[in-house]
């Protein structure tokens, strides 16, 4: 029985990271204005969760093998962002989509598709000022907990559920993660399929470069982020068979028939999320 439990340990772990920022406002001439979508401020905040469906040691070894090739490849070491990670990373180079050159990104995405068995779920929070003010009370930790709760509310049968989380400051503090669990517990009992989320949930918060499997979540998030922030579908197309769900949490225009749940039957695209007609949210307080 012990051996069998060890063999299935991957079923208990979920690897979690975030993308985008939680900046909404700035002061100008004594007046608060929205900066969403301006000067590098993201239009969305999102959290992703990856389930690695094979032996975790084997999966880590595969990612380490890929990283070792990058460490030894002078064509990639000419990039300063790559060379810095080779020199400073916990175990040398580690993939990070926003910092990787495009030819490396393409290579890693192809590697993930061919070598590692995993699935991803992502919750996207469009940055809507009224929701941030009235629902989240201008509190970034409350926003984070609200988004995170949607990823864990249906994980009641995984006991223990071990959340391996990329540490991102105060948003991933244990207090805030516990708040996410409380919100998820409330949501689980009032869903279309009532559940009781009373399983043991453990948090394993660590630096991004200390757990190479977090790079899978990072890459999945990056491909979805490109759809929402730049209207680019091609990277998501490469990984879409591995991304089982993208929940566009606050797109009320798609609530009818749950069209804001993007799955393999209702595919995510720049057109589907209305990228071309997506105006900057207004704030006139």
pLDDT score, position 195: 78
| pLDDT tens figures, 86-125 | 888 677 899 999 999 999 999 999 999 999 999 999 999 9
Asked if residue 274 belongs to a domain, the reply is no
Paired with 123 in beta bridges are 47, 247
Strand intervals (E) in 127-242: 161-166, 201-206
Asked if residue 278 belongs to a domain, the reply is no
CA atoms within 13 A on the CB side of 82: 19
Residue 63 tokens, joined: 């990612």
Asked if residue 139 belongs to a domain, the reply is yes
Taking Cα atoms as reference points, which of 64, 58, 66 lies closest to residue 106? 66
pLDDT score, position 282: 58
pLDDT score, position 283: 59
> How many structural domains comprise the chain?
1
The string of DSSP codes covering 218-257 is: HHHHHHHHHHHHH---HHHHHHGGGEEEEEETT-GGGTGG
pLDDT score, position 196: 86
Asked if residue 273 belongs to a domain, the reply is no
CATH number of domain containing 105: 3.30.420.10
Asked if residue 282 belongs to a domain, the reply is no
Taking 50 as the pLDDT cut, the residues of the chain under it are: 1-7, 285
Cα-Cα end-to-end distance for the chain? 61
pLDDT score, position 5: 47
Asked if residue 18 belongs to a domain, the reply is yes
Quote the domain boundaries for residue 111: 2-262
Taking Cα atoms as reference points, which of 68, 124, 76 lies closest to residue 102? 76
pLDDT score, position 122: 98
Asked if residue 275 belongs to a domain, the reply is no
pLDDT score, position 30: 76
Taking Cα atoms as reference points, which of 219, 213, 205, 14 lies closest to residue 96? 219
pLDDT score, position 2: 42
pLDDT score, position 193: 72
Asked if residue 22 belongs to a domain, the reply is yes
């Amino acid at each position: 029985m012990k051996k069998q439990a060890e063999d299935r340990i991957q079923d208990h772990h979920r690897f979690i990271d975030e993308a985008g920022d939680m900046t909404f406002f700035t002061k100008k001439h004594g007046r608060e204005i929205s900066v969403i979508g301006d000067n590098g401020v993201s239009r969305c905040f999102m959290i992703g969760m990856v389930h690695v469906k094979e032996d975790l040691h084997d999966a880590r070894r595969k990612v380490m093998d890929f990283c070792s090739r990058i460490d030894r490849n002078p064509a990639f070491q000419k990039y300063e962002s790559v060379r810095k990670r080779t020199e400073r990373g916990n175990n040398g180079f580690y993939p990070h989509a926003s910092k990787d050159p495009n030819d490396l990104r393409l290579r890693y995405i192809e590697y993930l598709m061919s070598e590692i068995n995993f699935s991803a779920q992502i919750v996207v929070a469009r940055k809507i000022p009224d929701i941030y003010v009235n629902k989240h009370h201008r509190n970034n930790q409350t926003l984070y907990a609200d988004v995170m709760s949607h990823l864990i509310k249906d994980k009641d049968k995984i006991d223990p559920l071990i959340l391996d989380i990329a540490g991102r400051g105060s948003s991933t503090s244990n207090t805030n993660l516990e708040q996410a669990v409380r919100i998820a517990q409330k949501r689980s009992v009032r869903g279309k399929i009532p559940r009781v989320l009373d399983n043991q949930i453990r948090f394993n918060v660590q630096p991004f470069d200390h757990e190479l499997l977090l790079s899978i979540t990072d890459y999945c998030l990056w491909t979805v982020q490109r759809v929402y922030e730049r209207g680019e579908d091609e990277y998501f197309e490469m990984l879409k068979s591995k991304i089982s769900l993208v929940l566009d949490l606050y797109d009320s225009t798609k609530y009818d028939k749950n069209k804001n749940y993007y799955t393999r039957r209702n595919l995510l695209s720049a057109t589907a999320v209305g990228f071309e007609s997506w105006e900057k949210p207004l704030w006139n307080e």
